[in-house]
Structure 1
Amino acid sequence: MNLVRSELLKIRTTSTWWWLALGAFLSIALAFAINAWLFVTTLGGDAEEIGVSAEQATAPAQAANLYTSGQYLGLMFVMLIGILMVTNEFFHQTATTTFLTTPRRTSVIVSKLVAASLLGFMFWLATTLIDLAAGAIFLSANDYGTQLGEWPVQRALLFNLLAYAIWTILGVGIGTLITNQLGAVITAAVLYLIGTQVVGLLFLLLSNVLDSQAVLKWQVIWPAVASQVMITEGTSEFTPSWWVGALVLIGYALVSGIAGVLLTRRRDIA
């Protein structure tokens, strides 16, 4: 726990997380406005026109989208926090001191993983409280009630927490793989933002070549897509069931955590 507290102190005493928190807040505002429009459009009878399936064209399913607004960019921000928790050691040349103070490198990385998960939880809690307040007001104003008693909404909130925790762990894994801070941040951000669009385009082209819409469901192997699938109610020709996204994301977390420990144990620290 002392190691975990020290990792949290390292992040808390820098201004970086404030900027990331501000970015998360702005992303919530933008995403909530879009999801509110989707809610009104979908339940207004125009679901088919915007590609929403019948299972997703319900008040609980759309309320789940409202209550998880900002997830897409929010996950990127917590991933960057996980990356900085590792790369800061090399950028500020404190890695040698850290590993001399705690020779067991596995303990150091595990403490970073635990601290990253706690930070992910705090980001989830802050963003969810904002979404709950705004969502409850919006839904009540439109005579749908809060929908918080519905299982699709509750599941989306719980699995959104899992997504935030896992993406901070993925960030730690990326930081151990690419120790150069600028290189790790740029690579991760590009893969998350642009890579997701490229993957979607590739699967779209593949589905056209094979003349099969079912191919599009395999986009779930990309972690950013898996995160979205995990909190989505129902299935469509483009997305599999929510539990598939959950399994994919958990798999990435396990691989990332184990790889982070193994790489750090074998790396020469100068």
Structure 2
Amino acid sequence: MNLVRSELLKIRTTSTWWWLAIGAFLSIALAFAFNAWVADETLSGEGENLGITGDQATAAAQAANLYTSGQYLGLMFVMLIGILMVTNEFFHQTATTTFLSTPRRTSVILSKLVAASLLGFAFWLVTTVIDLIAGATFLSLNDYGTLLDEWAVQRALLLNLLAYAIWTVLGVGIGTLITNQLGAVITSAVLYLVGTQVVGLLFMLLANVLDNEAVVKWQVIWPAVASTVMVSEGQNDFAPAWWVGALVLIGYAVVSGAVGIMITRRRDVS
């Protein structure tokens, strides 16, 4: 726990997390405004014009979407926190001191993983409270109630928590792979934002070539897509079940944590 507290102290005493928190808040504001518009159109019977039909057009599905607003960019921000927890050691040349004071490198990485998960939980809690207040107000004003008693909504909130925790762990894993801070941040951000779009396009093209729309479902192997899938209620024909996305993300977290520990134990930090 002393190691975990020290990792949290390293983050709290820098301004980085403030900038990331501000970015997360702005992303929530923009995402909620868009999701509220989509929900209003869908629940008023205009969902087909937006391509929203079936289970996706239900009040519960739209409520789950509202209550998880800002997840897409929010996950990127917590991933960056996880990256900075590792790369800061090399950027500020404190890695040697850290490993001399705690020779068991596995303990150091495990403490970073635990601290990252706690930070992910904190980000989830704050963003979810904002979404709950805004979402409940919007739904109540439209005479739908809060819909918080719906299992689909509760599941989306819980899985969103899992997503935040996992993406901070993934960030730690990326930081152990790419110790250069600028390189790690830029590479991960580009892969997250641009790579997700490229993956979606590639699978759409592959589906057309193979004349099999089911191929599109396999884009869930990309972690950013898996995050969206697992909190989405009312899956369409182009998305697998929510639990598939959850399993994919858990797999990434386990592999990332294990690889991070192995690399750090072997790396020369002198």
- Structure 2 counterpart of 1:262: 262
- Structure 1 counterpart of 2:81: 81
Whether 1:149 and 2:139 are equivalent positions in the alignment is: no
CA distance in 2, matches of 1:191, 1:245: 18
Q: CA deviation at 1:46?
A: 2.2
- Structure 2 counterpart of 1:179: 179
- Structure 2 counterpart of 1:7: 7
Q: CA deviation at 1:50?
A: 1.6
Q: Is the 8 Å Cα contact of residues 8 and 115 (structure 1) preserved in structure 2?
A: yes
The residue correspondences of 1:70-109 to structure 2 (distance < 5 A) are 70-109=70-109
- Structure 1 counterpart of 2:132: 132
Aligned residues: 270
- Structure 1 counterpart of 2:59: 59
What's the C-alpha RMSD, in Å, of the aligned pairs?
Answer: 0.7
CA distance in 2, matches of 1:27, 1:267: 37
- Structure 2 counterpart of 1:196: 196
Give a deviation string over 1:101-153, Cα, whole Å, max 9, x none: 00000000000000000000000000000000000110000000000000010
- Structure 1 counterpart of 2:111: 111
- Structure 2 counterpart of 1:20: 20
CA distance in 1, matches of 2:235, 2:24: 28
- Tell me, what secondary structure is at the counterpart of 1:69? coil
Q: Is the 8 Å Cα contact of residues 234 and 242 (structure 1) preserved in structure 2?
A: no
The normalised TM-score by structure 1 is: 0.99
Q: CA deviation at 1:237?
A: 1.5
| Segment of structure 1 superposing worse, 47-56 or 245-254 | 47-56
- Tell me, what secondary structure is at the counterpart of 1:238? coil
| Contiguous gaps of at least 5 residues in structure 1 | none
Quick one: percent identity of the two aligned structures? 81
- Structure 2 counterpart of 1:209: 209
CA distance in 2, matches of 1:42, 1:211: 30
Q: CA deviation at 1:43?
A: 1.5
| Segment of structure 1 superposing worse, 227-236 or 9-18 | 227-236
CA distance in 2, matches of 1:15, 1:95: 20
- Tell me, what secondary structure is at the counterpart of 2:55? coil
The AA in structure 2 aligned to 1:13 is T
| Contiguous gaps of at least 5 residues in structure 2 | none
Q: CA deviation at 1:5?
A: 0.1
